[in-house]
Chain A
Amino acid sequence: MMDDRARALVHAEIDGVLADADREELDQLAEASDEIRVYRARMQELDNLLTDAPRIEPPDRLHADIMNAIQLPAAAAERSNIGLRLMPGWLRYGVGAAAALVLAVGVFEYRNEPKDAFSPSMVSGTTLPDVRADSIELDQARFSADALTSTVTLSRRGQLLALDVEMAADEPVSLVLEFAESELMFDSMTPAPSPPDGIQLLGQGLRVAASGQRQFTILLRQSTAEAEGQLSLTWSNSAGVLQKKDFSINKKKSQG
């Protein structure tokens, strides 16, 4: 039966922390015991297999997704606005018009590319058509608690599903939408008076981060037009889950 000392020496050797004197001791122990010799050989085989295992390349979009999901403190934005405030009025107007044009072109490009995570600042204040007139309300949830007040309305707008979110929260909250069973995917954001701070695409869902008073609309697309299913919505903050709600899709209005 192999003792703990021999086992510890074998593992220290694998981890590259075996002192010369200890190596001599291990060599002697291995010479005297078939069990230790075999154990040492098998552990080295295992180490070789683990060392040779390929490192997996992350998806190409991972870096961009991470960068788009992270909002740094507003200090930098504050600094950049100082310059804008110091400009003469006519120049501020020109800068604003140019920014609007860039934004509109950017949104057009964005709408025509496959999407992953992004910062809502890339798409807010855009020229996307407002199709609210064709809206058919499917479901609505109202939450009212100390930490969060919100109204979330699910509607069908043409080929898309729209989630209109109005919220007020004292501290940062996150809204997680899970649509694993609904064959849904994120489509876009509509022009928003007060967009969220960040959006992160999950494998089969979406996480939205926001605080304060916000109003925005998330458009979702169904991979199967007549699919039925549920869209789960969870509000949470640093203290934990605040509210949960399941929305029914392609069904009559459900119990709130």
Chain B
Amino acid sequence: MSKDQDAALLEDCKRGDRKALDSLVRRYERQVFNAAYRMLGNREEAADVSQTVFLKAFEHLDRYDPRHKFFSWIYRIAMNESINQLKRRRPTEPLPESAQSASATPERELEAQRLGEDLQAALMQLQEDYRAVIVLRHFSEHSYRQIGEILDIPEKTVKSRLFSARQRMKDSLEQMGRIAK
């Protein structure tokens, strides 16, 4: 969706148009949920965070700067909320869950599931700021510039964090036998 379309829908939302709200939420809810899931490794928390993200975005529409893209703003809230959620976790809380049920899964699906779990485990071993750039680059497919805008850091920092984050993920996945040493 273009910036202009988002801007028009946002204007309609400000006038109380719930159809416009429905369109905007449908446009971004899956992406926000996936970004939150990759940051948190837990579906339930990711759903809570997604709900909070949209709630905060629309509660504070007056703070939205229309010179920036709506999705950058909403991703920024999503990243901040995910990191806040990680900080709220108690030290004794269990490790992230598997994304799918393991019961009666055919072999190929089971392998895909295990791979997904290993990837998520490798992600969860990263520091939050490194995890954020991997999530935004590889799962949300943002450019360096967009990631910089979302995280409020220079593009140069985006690149250097990506280099380090990938190196660490590679090392973790080598240890798990997912990447050749």
Residues of A within 8 A of B (CB): 7-8, 11, 14-15, 17, 42-43, 45-47, 49-59, 62-63, 65-67, 69-70, 72-79, 117, 172, 198, 200, 202-203, 209
Contact = CB atoms under 8 A, between A and B. Distances in A.
Interface of B: 13-18, 21-22, 25-26, 29-30, 33-34, 37, 43-48, 50-52, 54-55, 58-59, 99, 112, 115-116, 119, 134, 137-139, 144, 159, 162-163, 166, 169-170, 173-174, 178-180
A53 B41 CA distance: 13
B16 A74 contact: yes
Given A58-B47, A59-B47, A73-B14, A67 B25 contact: yes
Contacts of B26: 63
Contacts of A62: 29, 33, 47, 50-51
Contacts of B50: 58, 62, 66
Contacts of B119: 49-50, 53
B34 A55 contact: yes
Contacts of A79: 16
Given A63-B29, A200-B51, A54 B170 contact: no
Contacts of B112: 54
Contacts of B159: 8, 11
B58 A72 contact: yes
B48 A203 contact: yes
Contact of B54 (A54, A55, A69): A69
B179 A56 contact: no
Contacts of A73: 14-16
Contact of A70 (B58, B166, B180): B58
Nearest to A50: B138
Nearest to B18: A72
A11 B25 contact: no
A46 B54 contact: no
B37 A56 contact: yes
Contact of A11 (B43, B139, B166, B174): B166
Nearest to A73: B16
B173 A46 contact: yes
Contacts of B144: 15, 17
Given A45-B180, A53-B139, A56-B99, A70 B115 contact: no
A146 B26 CA distance: 39
A70 B99 CA distance: 27
Q: 3 tightest A-B contacts by CB?
A: A76-B16, A58-B33, A50-B138
Given A62-B33, A76-B15, A46 B137 contact: no
27 contacts: A11-B159, A15-B144, A42-B180, A43-B166, A47-B138, A49-B119, A53-B119, A53-B138, A53-B139, A55-B30, A56-B33, A56-B46, A56-B99, A57-B30, A58-B47, A62-B47, A62-B51, A69-B51, A69-B55, A70-B59, A75-B14, A78-B16, A172-B59, A198-B55, A200-B55, A203-B44, A203-B48
Given A54-B112, A66-B29, A76 B34 contact: no
A92 to B, nearest CB: 22
Contact of B51 (A14, A66, A74): A66
Contact of B22 (A67, A75, A78): A67
Given A42-B170, A49-B179, A56-B34, 16 more contacts: A11-B162, A15-B144, A46-B170, A50-B119, A52-B115, A53-B138, A58-B29, A59-B43, A62-B33, A66-B25, A66-B50, A69-B54, A70-B21, A70-B54, A75-B15, A76-B16
B44 A117 contact: no
Contacts of B44: 203
